[in-house]
Amino acid sequence: MPLAGPRFLVLDKPPGPTSHDCVDIVRAVVGDRRVGHTGTLDPFASGVLLLGLGPATRLISFLEDDHKVYRCGLRLGRATTTGDTEGETRAEAPVPPLDVAKVRAALEGMCGQRSQTTPLYSAVKVNGRRLYELARAGVEVEAPVRSVRIDAVELIALSGDLIDLRLTCGKGTYARAFGEELAERLGTVGHLEALRREATGGATLAHAVDLPRLAHLVAAEPPPTGADGEVDWRAVLRSPRGVPRLPWLPRAEIDALLSDVLRSPTAVLDGLPALQLLPAQVERLLRSGVLPGPEVAPLPAAPPDHGRFLACVGDEVVALGEERAGLRRALRVLPGAAPA
C-alpha cells in the first residue's frame, strides 16, 4: 500500500543511472507509481535529485529551484561531442601554462546574466524533438541561445590540466557549456570530467540519501558488497535483466523504515509561511477548493513576492495557496493529505 500523504526524497544519485532510472527505483521502494523529479541530472553526473512522492508530485511545478550549486571537474586539452566523459573526442588542443591567477582572471566577467548556447546533447526541444535525439541521428540544427544566470564561481583547486570549481547558478544553466567556455578563455578546449550537484532549491546533500542506504533499508538480508567494499545496490534495487533481485522486507516494514529518510513538504518548502487550518476549514477546502480569507485566518508571516503559502493541519500540508491583493486561491489541493 502506497505511503499516505505528500512526501519528498532527496536522493544522492550516483554516476551511471539516468534520472528516470532513479525514479523507477524509488517507485518500487515507496510502493507508489506517483514519483517525479524536479530537475534532470545527466547520467555521468551525481548528487542531489529531488523527488516528489505521491500527492507531492502536484507541488513539483511550484518548487523554487532557481538556485543550483554544482561541483565541476574541468579537464583541459580535449573537447567531446557531449561536453562530458560520455562523448567522443571532437577536438584536442595543447594546454598553456596555467596558474591560479590566470584561471581567476579568466573567470572574471563570467558571472551575472549572460547568454549561453544550449549543448547539442541536451533535452531541450527544437521543432518538437529533443536536441540529443537530433544529434544522435546526425541531423544538423542550430542550438538555441538562452539567457542564464551565474551567481558565483569558486576556484577550489588547480592541478595540472584539471580545474576544480564550484558553480552557483540559476535554473537552466548548463555546467558543461560553462566549462567549455572557460576552457576557450584559457586558450584551449575542455570537457567536464566530473559533475556533482550539491544543491537545488532548498534541497542539499546534507538531506540526501544514497542508493546503498536505500538498498540496506529494503533488503531482507545484508546486501552484498563488491571488490571495493561498496554495497552492491544494484543486486537489491535494480538487478540485471534475467537476474532476480535479492528479497525485500515486507511492504509494511519498508514503509515504517522510510519515515526516517522522507521529508515533508514543510521541510522542503521551508521558505513559505504555514497557515494552520481548523477542521471545518479543511473540510471546505477539500470539498470546494476554498481557503479561508485573510480577515478570518491571517498568515503568520508575509509570503514571498509570488504570494505563496502552505495550508496545513499540524505538520501535514493539505494545499499550496496564493495570496495577492487580499485575495486567496488554492493552487494545488492535496486530497488525502490531511490526517483523519
- Give the position of cell 552557483: 168
Other CB atoms within 10 Å distance of the CB of residue 302: 10
Phi/psi at 261 (5° precision): -115, -15
Please give the angle made by the CA atoms of 333, 276 and 261, to the nearest 5 degrees: 70
CA gyration radius, the chain: 23
- How far is 213 from 283, CA to CA, in rounded Å? 39
- How far is 56 from 5, CA to CA, in rounded Å? 8
Are the beta carbons of 332 and 311 closer than 8 angstroms? Answer: no
User: Positive or negative, the Cα torsion across 219, 222, 225, 230?
Assistant: positive
Close Cβ partners of 177 (under 8 Å, ≥ 6 residues apart): 83, 116, 117, 118, 119
Of 12, 42, 84, 255, the active-site residue reads 42
What the block records as the C-alpha cell of 93 is 588542443
Are the beta carbons of 283 and 277 closer than 8 angstroms? Answer: no
Residues across the chain:
340
Q: Where are the alpha helices (DSSP H) in the chain?
A: 19-30, 100-107, 131-136, 175-185, 211-218, 233-237, 251-258, 265-268, 279-288
- How far is 336 from 292, CA to CA, in rounded Å? 19
* DSSP calls for 212-226: HHHHHHHBSSPPPB-
Task: Indicate if 255 belongs to the active site.
Answer: no
Question: So which residues are the catalytic ones?
Answer: 42
